[in-house]
Copies of this chain bind each other. A is one copy, B any other.
Amino acid sequence: MSDQGRPVPPPPGPHFSRRVPDGDTLERYVCGRCGHIHYTNPKIVVGSVVAHEDRILLCRRAIEPRKGLWTLPAGFLEEHETPEDGARREAREEACADIRLDALLAVYTVAHISQVQLMYRASLAVPNFAAGPESLDVQLFAWNEIPWDELAFPSVKWALRHYRETRHLSVFAPFGNPAPRNSPAP
């Protein structure tokens, strides 16, 4: 097993080597001295599509990657944090916004970087926002004003489109990754 040809992270220490531990089925880093297994795990990103009076909040990134492009308030879930708390924290940090979560909009997987993204549908709790330290600018956009060609990540576009599909729904199942464009019709 070689993690399906995906990039393998650097070893956690000088005595670690890659092998399949007894009783396992995948290669892990195992310490040649003490047998300690160093597991690596997918990371959780939490974020939200935040609406206010039919407009949607976007943040212009002040940091790499994709500095200068527009994104949703989102980031890595912290230890001991619920995804909902994490999504609210990211909106506070990146957009100085106090938001109310309404529904789990989508669960996306970005498999090549081992990310699972939990995206919520939300609204501004109070109509205030501003650029946090990781944002150059924060603005509300009407649907036809969204800078589609300046969005930072594919999943930002997915979440905006999925948000649009649920605008008039109170109960729905969360979306997953959209099918690739050139896949055959189901």
Q: Which residues of A line the B interface, CB within 8 A? A: 3-4, 6, 12-13, 23, 25-26, 39-44, 76-84, 93, 103-104, 107, 109, 111-112, 114, 116, 118, 133, 171-174, 176-177
Contact = CB atoms under 8 A, between A and B. Distances in A.
State the number of copies, please: 2
Nearest to A76: B41
Contacts of A82: 109, 111, 177
A171 B76 CA distance: 29
A64 B38 CA distance: 19
The 8 A-B pairs at the shortest CB distance, nearest first, are namely: A82-B109, A79-B114, A6-B80, A80-B111, A41-B43, A42-B77, A80-B114, A171-B173
Nearest to A103: B173
Contact of A104 (B6, B26, B107, B177): B107
Given A104-B107, A174-B104, A3 B79 contact: yes
A88 to B, nearest CB: 14
Contacts of A13: 13
11 contacts: A3-B79, A6-B79, A23-B133, A41-B77, A42-B79, A79-B114, A80-B112, A82-B109, A83-B107, A103-B173, A104-B107
Contacts of A42: 44, 77-81
A181 to B, nearest CB: 18
